[in-house]
């Protein structure tokens, strides 16, 4: 989405939102907030990156999201580094989940009983 010399504002958010959501999950071990401004406020430190993203967010909210914007290097650099870092982090995780098949089968049977009986 972000490789051209010009990028639609909304395309930045297509990449920023999931990257910040993944960062939230990593830091808080919980479902991330749906509101982008919360992710922005809590996860990005004060500085040029946060300022540029805030400017884009204001433009998006005002309806400029389809406008082409010259590529913003500070955002692209952050995204490239963060995606690489998160990729390495995810590879260190090992999650073991119980097989939910029995519980799902039982829920299905209970639902059928409720509907048909």
What is the average per-residue pLDDT within 59-87?
A: 89
**Strand pairing class (68-70; 6-8):** antiparallel
The pLDDT > 90 percentage for the chain reads 69
Q: Are 1 and 15 in contact (CB under 8 A)?
A: yes
pTM surpassing 0.85? no
DSSP code of residue 45: P
pLDDT on residue 84? 96
CB atoms within 10 A of CB 39: 20
pLDDT in tens, 1-56: 677 788 888 888 999 999 999 999 999 999 999 999 999 999 999 999 999 999 99
How open is the CA angle 68-15-67, to the nearest 5 degrees? 15
Q: Are 69 and 8 in contact (CB under 8 A)?
A: yes
**What is the C-alpha separation between 17 and 23, in angstroms, rounded?**
10
Handedness of CA 52, 1, 8, 58 (dihedral sign): negative
pLDDT on residue 1? 63
Residue 63: closest CA among 10, 5, 15? 10
């Amino acid at each position: 989405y972000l490789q051209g010399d010009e990028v639609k504002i909304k395309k930045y958010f297509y990449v920023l939102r999931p990257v910040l959501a993944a960062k939230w999950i990593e830091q808080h071990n919980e479902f991330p907030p749906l509101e982008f401004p919360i992710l922005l406020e809590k996860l990005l430190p004060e500085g040029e990156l946060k300022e540029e993203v805030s400017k884009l967010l204001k433009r998006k909210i005002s309806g400029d999201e389809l406008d082409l914007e010259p590529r913003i290097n500070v955002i692209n650099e952050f995204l490239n580094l963060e995606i690489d870092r998160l990729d390495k982090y995810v590879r260190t995780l090992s999650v073991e989940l119980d097989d939910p098949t029995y519980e799902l089968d039982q829920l299905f049977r209970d639902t059928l009983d409720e509907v048909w009986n």
